[in-house]
Amino acid sequence: MRILAVVNTPWDPRLGAARVWIDLAEEWSKAGHLVEKYCLTDAFPVPTSSPRISALRLTWFPFCAARFIRRNAHRFDVIDALAGTLIASKKSLRFSGLLVARSVGLYDLYAKFERAAARRWPSSRKGNIFGRMFYGLFYKGVRAATHASIRHCDLLNLPNSDELSFLRDETGVSRPAMVQPYGLTTKHRQTLLQAAASSEARWLKKKICFIGMWTPRKGAKDWGQIIRLVRARVPEAHFLFLGTMAEDDTVRSDLGPGASEWVELVARYQPDALPQLLSDCSVAAFPSYVEGFGLAVVEQLAAGIPVVAYDVAGPRDILHHSLPELLVAPGDIDRFSEAIIDILTNDVSRYEQLRHRSAQAAEAFSWPPIAHNTTEEYRRRFALLRQANET
């Protein structure tokens, strides 16, 4: 099949959204499919450090992508596009193939959390009137673009069943849909496991790791209390935060006095450095409130690291069947901390078993079969479209 991937971020594996298509493109190419991409830097080659210009580029990206497709529609059987990046109808795009809108985290669910977060953690930094109006209009536009892309697509590709339920039950969306998880490449999974220290060394290390951007959605407001509760019971415990994409001073300020002292921060890292960074970690913690999927959870499981997570869509799909005891109700910081403490204070033999179960759980999330299943469904839907067009 001839597949075009469309995503409004740079084609960079350090970015969660782009990484999905990058890994899929690799697997699809291995299987003999022809894969091209159209990303943010194709539309805007000159980089910018201005947040407002970046926002304007995201707003304009669907029009750039539509122009590219109108010129090249005949070259593709399938367009697999991030939801919100294509807002025109197939007729307007001059495209007769299969148009897929892929979610890497449904906008409405993220916005729902942001509204709840604003009530729970009011910010003293309100910004000026112009800024509030600008970003208010920007997010309104993002929501409208997401809804338009869902309305015009032939197929929705969703990363978890909760998103499908939300679209069906709360918004009345009836478009055909498939639910497919994300995965790891075989090489990446093997490298993560091979780099791991022994169970005894890890258990004695008492190191807790977290992978993710530093935002309230990912648990930034919970971490200070988590650290204090864990260290009250395990004084030698220390923490490693990876990929925060934030200034160290910001993270330490949010953690508060008595917490930041025990934390090592790595704001940015290259993907191939991750196995070594995780090699001596004992437990992973993922207090995220909203996820599309949660590849960081799978990566840490693949490294043989038990992952304690909030019981939300994404982490729930990953852990529910294999490690349900590691799921904690969202926002239950006491229970979340207790789950970490239990792993750190139990015996080494139990830790060894948990480590083995973690690595096994990650095996269910592998890109080769996921990529194959995806293209098989695309092939079936494409054939149905051709039949409909011929009648």
Domain ranges of the chain: 2-183+367-390, 186-362
Asked whether the predicted pLDDT for residue 311 surpasses 90, the reply is yes
Question: According to the model, what pLDDT value does residue 297 have?
Answer: 97
* AA letter at 124: S
Nearest to 287 by CA among 108, 106, 113, 103: 113
* 3-state DSSP helix/strand/coil % of the chain, to nearest 5: 55, 15, 30
Per residue in 226-244, pLDDT (tens digit) is: 999 999 999 999 999 999 9
**pTM of whole model > 0.85?**
yes
In 188-333, beta strands by DSSP E: 207-211, 238-242, 263-266, 283-286, 307-310, 327-328
Residue pair 296/189 in contact (Cβ under 8 Å)? The answer is: no
Q: Note the CATH number of domain 186-362.
A: 3.40.50.2000
Residue pair 282/305 in contact (Cβ under 8 Å)? The answer is: yes
CATH 3.30.750.24 fits 2-183+367-390, yes or no: no
Per residue in 99-147, pLDDT (tens digit) is: 999 999 988 898 899 888 888 888 755 566 766 666 677 778 888 999 9
Question: According to the model, what pLDDT value does residue 258 have?
Answer: 80
Residue pair 279/195 in contact (Cβ under 8 Å)? The answer is: yes
**Separation CA 264–CA 190 (nearest Å):** 26
The answer to whether 2-183+367-390 and 186-362 have equal CATH topology is yes
Question: According to the model, what pLDDT value does residue 263 have?
Answer: 95
Sheet strands side by side (includes 2-6)? 34-38, 2-6, 78-82, 98-102, 155-158, 177-179
Residue pair 26/185 in contact (Cβ under 8 Å)? The answer is: yes
Residue 166, phi-psi category: left (phi > 0), alpha (psi -120 to 50), beta (remainder) = alpha
Question: According to the model, what pLDDT value does residue 261 have?
Answer: 86
Point out which residues pair with 37 in neighbouring strands. Answer: 5
Per residue in 8-62, pLDDT (tens digit) is: 999 998 888 899 999 999 999 999 999 999 999 999 999 998 988 999 999 999 9
Please report the DSSP string for 165-214 in residue order: HHHHHTS---S-EEE----B-HHHHHHHHHTPPPHHHHHHH-EEEEES-S
Pairing mode, strands 283-286 and 263-266: unpaired
Average pLDDT, the chain: 93
**Separation CA 158–CA 218 (nearest Å):** 20
Pairing mode, strands 98-102 and 78-82: parallel
Question: According to the model, what pLDDT value does residue 259 have?
Answer: 81
Question: According to the model, what pLDDT value does residue 303 have?
Answer: 97
Give the other-Cβ count within 10 Å of 199's Cβ. 18
